[in-house]
Amino acid sequence: MLDFIYIPISWLLLRWHELWSFVVPEHEVLGTAWSWVLAIVFLVITIRVILFPLFVKQIKSQRAMQALSPKVKELQQRYKGDREVLQRKMVELYREEKANPLMGCLPMLIQAPVFLGLLHVLRRLKPETTMEHIKQLYGWTIPQFDSAVDAHVFFAPIWSTFMSPAAQLDEVGASSLVVKLVSGVLILVMTATTFLTTRQMILKTGWNADPQQRMIQKLMLYGIPVMLLVTGGIFPIGVILYWVVNNTISLLQQLWVLRKYPPPVNAANPTPAKQPKPGSKKYAEQLREKQERAKALAPKVGAKPVNKKKGGANRGASK
């Protein structure tokens, strides 16, 4: 039913595996089949390169939404008691300014089918599968299927999950404790990097003024990491590895893009400059500058004081 997703994902994964099979040793090193690990890593890189233009559009759209924040707040105050009119006015504002509030979620929504496709492909890699037509689904060959079934990540089968039964792992000579340890560490890293990726974006772009968009931001910041932490036990180790690599690349990609496209500064409410800590060199320089300005403005010895009241009275009398 979803072969249009499974076949391209399998094709990319297998092509990268074929390439790396010529580069890295065929036998496992440190209990890891590096040709399959690198195939997953470069599957991520391929997807990220394809989606990079969309990612830049996401940043630009978020900048536009941030620039519209004062206008959104104004509409919220004006139509506070009429939610229907408020929604209509905000839609009109977004249309006029060519801003799309959904663009912030679009890259993640597009990556979801890739994640689900890889999840399906790796979940069918079971050692008990013997039927040849099952092994050859989505363009796989029987040797490729058997190679993936025998592949490990630090002595844990690439298809195994945190919830894999000990009896199933014993049949292939894998330790249930090792599988849980490797899977558990990867799940924690996956959860942490997912949180950090979203947090990095929100810290740079700020919280959205629109309550609905702010709710979406909170859901992405807290809800998705919690969901991954709870459901991570059903994901194959290869899929969790894909997510960890994807998040790591996202963090680096966002860091570069956010530096290239810095957030706009609101002239009405500029971000206050960070004050230096007392005792620091910069603090001492600022203190010295203040003292010099105060000394320059202080009246000099012997100078006659200016009588402003008298001057004002004289001007009044002359009139």
SS (H, E, C) the chain: CCHHHHHHHHHHHHHHHHHHHCCCCCCCECCECHHHHHHHHHHHHHHHHHHHHHHHHHHHHHHHHHHCHHHHHHHHHHCCCCHHHHHHHHHHHHHHHCCCHHHHCHHHHHHHHHHHHHHHHHHCCCCCCCCHHHHCHHHCCHHHHHHHHHCEECCEECCCCCCCCHHHHHHCCCCHHHHHHHHHHHHHHHHHHHHHHHHHHHHHHCCCCCHHHHHHHHHHHHHHHHHHHHHHHHCCHHHHHHHHHHHHHHHHHHHHHHHHCCCCCCCCCCCCCCCCCCCCHHHHHHHHHHHHHHHHHCCCCCCCCCCHHHHHHHHHHHC
Q: What's the pLDDT at 296?
A: 62
Per-residue pLDDT of 254-286, as tens digits, reads 888 777 766 655 433 444 445 566 667 666 776
Give the span between the Cα atoms of 27 and 46, in whole angstroms: 26
Which two tokens mark 102?
């959904």
For the four alpha carbons of 22, 26, 28 and 32, in that order, the dihedral sign comes to: positive
Which two tokens mark 293?
């300005």
Give the span between the Cα atoms of 261 and 108, in whole angstroms: 20
The pTM of this model reads 0.72
Query: For residue 29, what are the β-bridge partners?
Result: 32
Asked if residue 219 lies in contact with residue 105, where contact means CB atoms within 8 angstroms, the answer is: no
Which two tokens mark 23?
């580069």
Q: What's the pLDDT at 311?
A: 47
List the chain pLDDT tens, one digit each, 319 residues.
Answer: 788 889 999 999 999 999 999 999 888 999 999 999 999 999 999 998 888 887 777 777 767 777 777 888 888 888 877 788 888 888 888 877 767 766 666 666 777 888 888 999 998 898 888 899 999 999 999 999 999 999 999 999 999 999 999 998 998 899 999 999 999 999 999 999 999 988 887 777 667 666 777 787 788 889 889 999 999 999 999 999 999 999 999 888 888 877 776 665 543 344 444 556 666 766 677 677 766 666 666 666 565 555 555 444 444 544 4
Q: What's the pLDDT at 162?
A: 94
